[in-house]
Amino acid sequence: MGDESAERRPAGELEAGVLAALWAADGPLTPGQVQGALGTRLARTTITTILSRLYEKGTVTRVRAGRGYAYTPTEDAPGLTARRMHSELAKDEDRSAVLARFVSQLNDEDERLLRSLLDGAEPRMDDQAGGVDSLDGPDGGRAG
């Protein structure tokens, strides 16, 4: 009983591990292949349940593989994070307040990167000097 509780992890952590295995793969993986890639003692049924939940969320697609399925992520890690951010933003009626709070909590480097993306320029992560100090400049944060 003690070993079982030691293995218990939050569902989000398990999903993240399964997605990492799928992203690292060259093609679709079956639950058994995911289990092998994770190198964990998780039961195959647990991995199958996680994959089924990810499929229901639209995070992975699946194709028939024998009597079961093989799974592939629908997007890469940055795409999934962006989709989650959009989902969280859509949950609040006051989008302006949510975005303002988000922007106010950015560090200087992320703020410069966001401004660069909004202005349509290629982001330069190595540019530490001469950046913009805030997003409330005369053009409202957009080129125009």
Collapsing DSSP to helix, strand or coil, 4 comes out as helix
Share of the chain above pLDDT 70, in %: 76
Of the two residues 2 and 46, the one the predictor is more confident about is 46
| pLDDT mean over 34-46 | 93
Buried b (16+ CB within 10 A) or exposed e, 102-119: ebeeeeeeebbbbbbeee
Architecture of the domain defined by 2-73: Orthogonal Bundle (1.10)
pLDDT tens digits along 48-78: 999 999 999 999 999 999 999 999 999 999 9
Residue 122's pLDDT is 64
Residue 26's pLDDT is 93
What is each CA distance from 29 to 35, 39, 75, in whole angstroms? Answer: 10, 14, 15
Token readout for 141 is 């944060």
Q: How confident is the model at residue 44 (pLDDT cuts 50, 70, 90)?
A: very high
First to last CA, the chain: 63
Where exactly are the structural domains of the chain?
A: 2-73, 92-144
Residues whose CB is less than 8 angstroms from the CB of residue 14 and which lie 6 or more positions away in sequence, other chains included: 42, 46, 50
